[in-house]
Structure 1
Amino acid sequence: MIRPMFCRLSFIACFVSLTIVSVCDNISASQENSSAMAKFLPKTMRAVGFYKYLPISDPSSLLDLEVALPTMQNNDVLVEVKATAVNPIDTKLRAPKPTIETTPRILGFDGAGVVVAKGDASKIFKIGDEVFFTGDFRRNGSNAQYVALDEVLVGLKPKKLSFEQAAAMPLTGVTAYESLYDRLLLSKKDAGKSLLIINSAGGVGSVASQLAKNLGLNVIGTASRKETQEFSLAHGADIVLNHTKDLIPQLEANGYGNGVDYILVNYDPYPYWDTMMQVIKPQGKICLIVDSSGLVDLKPLKTKSLTITSEMMLTRIIYNTDDKYRHHEILQEISKMLENGQLKTTLTKVMSPINAANMKEAHRLLEEQHMIGKIVVTKFEEKEKI
C-alpha cells in the first residue's frame, strides 16, 4: 500500500516541478524578449519640434532635432512611427505666443506604426502589432521616430491599409464617430432623417459624411469650390451646398424648406448661427467641434427646445472618465469599418521624409485653409553610414 502512494506522490511532485520549470522558462523567455527589445532600442531619436511659438514662415518655427526617447508610463505602449498626420490642431498649438519651452515641444496627434515596447500594466497589445493612434495634447506627439501613448489611444491598424492611409484616420475618425454616436446620439433608428454638415470636405466632415450615410441619414454637405464639392460627394454627401452663399434658399431648393433634423458644425459657428437657428427643426440637435469666434444669442434655443452639444476628442482622456476605454473601442470599430469598406481613408497628400522642411510645408497648406482631406508625412531619411 505504501509503494503505490509513494509513486503517485512522486508523479505529482514531478508534474509540479515540470510545471514550475515551464512557467519559469516562459517568464525567462518573456524577460529575454523584453530585454532584447530594450537592447535594440536607441537612446535617442530624430524628431521635428520647436522651442519658440512662431509664425510658420520663421526658420525656427519647426526644427530638426535629436532627442531622448520618450519616457513610458505603466499603461503606455511605445510605437515606432511609420507615418504621422498633420491637423489644424497642430497649427493652433504652434501659433505665435510669448512662451518659450525649455525642452522641445513635439507635435503630431495621429499616426500609424509598430509597437516596440510596453509599460508594466499594458495589456491590450503585443510587441510587433501594427497600430494606428491618436495622441494626447499634454504630451509630446508623433512627429518623431518613437511616441509613447496610453494604450487606450491606440487601435489595431486595418490590415489592408498602408501606414500612410491608416495614419490619416484616427483623430478625425474618433472625432466624427463621437460627434454622431455619442453627442448627437444617432443610430440606425434615425435612418431617413437629415444631417447638415457645415464644412463637409475637411478631415472630420468627410468621415462624418460616411458614418452618417452608413446609418441611412440624408447627408447635406457644404463646400465652396468645385473640387471640395466633388470630394464631399465622393465621401458620403447626398447633396453639397455652397457655404459662401445663403444656405436657406439652397436648402429650400433641395427639398428642405421645413428644415433639418441635425447639424454638425466643423467650422466657426459664429457666422452660421442665425441660419442654424432658422433651419434646425424643433427638438433638433446641433454639435459644435470648433469654438465660436463671437458671442451668440441662445434665446432661439428655448422655443424650439433645441439641444446644443460639443465634441472634443480627448475629453475622456483628459478627465480620466470611467468610460475612457471607449476611445480604444471606437478606434477598433473604425479599423473594422476601414477593413470592410464601410469607411474609406480621406488621405489626399503624402509627403516624405519626416523633417522640418516638409512639416513646415504641411502647416503652411493647412493655414491657407484650402486643403482637401488629410496630409500625412512619412518615413525618416536613413542616416548616412560613416
Structure 2
Amino acid sequence: MRTQHKVWAYQPEHYDVSLAEQSVPSLEPNQVLVANKAIGINPVDWKFIQANPLTWQEGHIAGVDGAGVIVDVGEDVDQAWIGTPVAYHAALARHGSFAEHTPVYLNRLMKLPKTMAFSLAAALPCPILTAWQAVEKIPVKPTRNVLISGLGAVTKLVTQLLVQRGFVVDVISKSCSAELAEKLGIRKVYRQLNDVDQHYFAAYDAVGPDNAAELVPYIKANGHVVCIQGRVETPIDAPFTKTISYHEIALGALHSFGDEQDWLELMNDGEVLFNHVIEHKLVVESPTEFHFDDMRTALKHSETSKQKSVVVV
C-alpha cells in the first residue's frame, strides 16, 4: 500500500481547496479504504467550501460522493471485500471524496452493477438517495396529483419515481421542454407559479424555503409539502385548517443520527436504484467530466451551470 496520496485540501483562510499530498488515512475496525476512480461534485460541496459552516480546519478533505474499488479493509472487515467496486455518500464532518483514497464505513457502501461506469456511479449517490428519501416522505396514493417546483438533477429523479408509483406529476419550470416532459412522464408544465390552476395532494420544492412556502396555498387538505433545499420553519396554514404536513430532506442526517437499520435500508434501496439506472428504468443525464487536477474548474462548473452534478475523473 502507498503511504502518501494526492488530496484537495481545504484552505480556510481562502475558502478554497488546493492540491496537496497527505498520508493515506488509517482505518477504523469497521471501515474500508476506497481507491477513488471518480468523484462526484454536488452543490453542497462548493457551498460548504465557500461558507465553511462546520469550521473545517486546514487540510480537511471535502466531497461527499465517490466511486472506486476497495483496496484495504479494517480489522473487523472480511478481506473478500478487497477489489469490490462501490459508490458511497460521505459525511461532511469527516474527510471525504476529494482525494485518491477515502475511508468509508462498511455499512455505508453501495455495490455497483457490473456494467456501470465509475464516472456515472460517482454522480449518483447524493441526487438519487435524496430523491428517494423525498419520495418516501409521502404515502403512496396512485392517481393523486403532485406539483414539483424547480427541475434539476434531484427533482428529475423525484418526478420519475413518483410517476412509477402512480402519481400524476406537474412541474413549474421555465426550461422544461415538451420532449423532456414526455421522457420524464410529466403531465403539465407551468412556466411560473401564477400559472398553477389547481390544488395538489403534495408539492415538492428544490429552490428554497421561501419558495416552498409559496406552494402551500396550492396544497389540498391533509396534503404535503416537501422542501428539498432547507425547511419551512413555521407552518403557513393556520392550525386546524388544512392540516398540511411539512417535510424536510437532509441526506446527511443519517451520518449523525442514523442507526444500523437505517443505513442497511438506504444502501439496499440505493443499490436497487443504481440497477434501475442501468436497466434504463430511470433516466439520468451523463455527467460532465474533468480531470482530478482540474478540481477548481469542476467546482466552478457545478456552481455556474444548470447541471447539478459533475464528475472529476
Q: Normalising to structure 1: TM-score of the pair?
A: 0.74
Q: Give the residue type in structure 2 aligned to 1:224.
A: K
2:205 aligned residue: 265
Q: Distance in 2 between matches of 1:71 and 1:95?
A: 28
Is it true that 1:364 corresponds to 2:300 in the alignment?
A: yes
My pick for the range that moved more, 337-346 or 67-76, is: 337-346
Q: Distance in 1 between matches of 2:158 and 2:213?
A: 20
- Consecutive unaligned residues of structure 2, counting only runs of 5 or more, are none
Whether the 8 Å contact between 1:270 and 1:295 is mirrored in structure 2 is no
2:154 aligned residue: 204
**1:54 pairs with one of 14, 20, 29:** 14
| Cα offsets for 1:2-50 (capped at 9, x unmatched) | xxxxxxxxxxxxxxxxxxxxxxxxxxxxxxxxxxxxxxx2001011122
Alpha-carbon shift at residue 64 of structure 1 (Å): 0.7
**Change in 2 beyond 3 A, CA 1:321/1:99:** closer
Whether the 8 Å contact between 1:277 and 1:300 is mirrored in structure 2 is no
Alpha-carbon shift at residue 98 of structure 1 (Å): 9.7
Report SS of the residue matched to 2:2.
coil
Is it true that 1:284 corresponds to 2:284 in the alignment?
A: no
Is it true that 1:112 corresponds to 2:52 in the alignment?
A: no
| Cα offsets for 1:265-303 (capped at 9, x unmatched) | 2121203413x12111111111112225x8655344641
**Change in 2 beyond 3 A, CA 1:98/1:213:** closer
Is it true that 1:318 corresponds to 2:256 in the alignment?
A: yes
**Change in 2 beyond 3 A, CA 1:133/1:102:** closer
2:2 aligned residue: 42
Q: Distance in 1 between matches of 2:164 and 2:53?
A: 46
Q: Give the residue type in structure 2 aligned to 1:266.
A: A
Which structure has the larger Rg?
1
Whether the 8 Å contact between 1:53 and 1:97 is mirrored in structure 2 is no
Q: Give the residue type in structure 2 aligned to 1:323.
A: Q
1:220 aligned residue: 170
Superposed, which structure 2 residues align to 1:169-248 within 5 Å? 169-181=124-136, 183-186=137-140, 190-200=141-151, 202-225=152-175, 231=180, 234-242=183-191, 245=192, 247-248=193-194
Report SS of the residue matched to 2:292.
coil
Superposed, which structure 2 residues align to 1:279-358 within 5 Å? 279-292=218-231, 296-300=234-238, 302-321=240-259, 323-324=261-262, 325-351=264-290, 353-355=291-293, 358=294
Alpha-carbon shift at residue 203 of structure 1 (Å): 2.0
- Consecutive unaligned residues of structure 1, counting only runs of 5 or more, are 1-40, 56-60, 379-386
Alpha-carbon shift at residue 92 of structure 1 (Å): 1.6
Whether the 8 Å contact between 1:158 and 1:166 is mirrored in structure 2 is no
Higher helix share: 1
Q: RMSD of the TM alignment (CA)?
A: 2.5
**Change in 2 beyond 3 A, CA 1:265/1:129:** same
Q: Give the residue type in structure 1 aligned to 2:311.
A: V
**1:132 pairs with one of 70, 80, 87:** 87
Whether the 8 Å contact between 1:350 and 1:377 is mirrored in structure 2 is yes
Q: Distance in 2 between matches of 1:62 and 1:311?
A: 27
Q: Normalising to structure 2: TM-score of the pair?
A: 0.90
Whether the 8 Å contact between 2:150 and 2:205 is mirrored in structure 1 is yes
Report SS of the residue matched to 1:143.
coil
Q: Distance in 1 between matches of 2:80 and 2:168?
A: 38
Report SS of the residue matched to 1:221.
strand
Q: Distance in 2 between matches of 1:98 and 1:173?
A: 24
Report SS of the residue matched to 2:196.
helix
Whether the 8 Å contact between 1:76 and 1:122 is mirrored in structure 2 is yes
Q: Give the residue type in structure 2 aligned to 1:203.
A: A
Q: Distance in 2 between matches of 1:372 and 1:224?
A: 15
Alpha-carbon shift at residue 125 of structure 1 (Å): 6.8
Number of residue pairs the alignment of both structures matches: 312
2:196 aligned residue: 251
Report SS of the residue matched to 1:62.
strand
| Cα offsets for 1:275-332 (capped at 9, x unmatched) | x12111111111112225x865534464111111111112223114352222221222
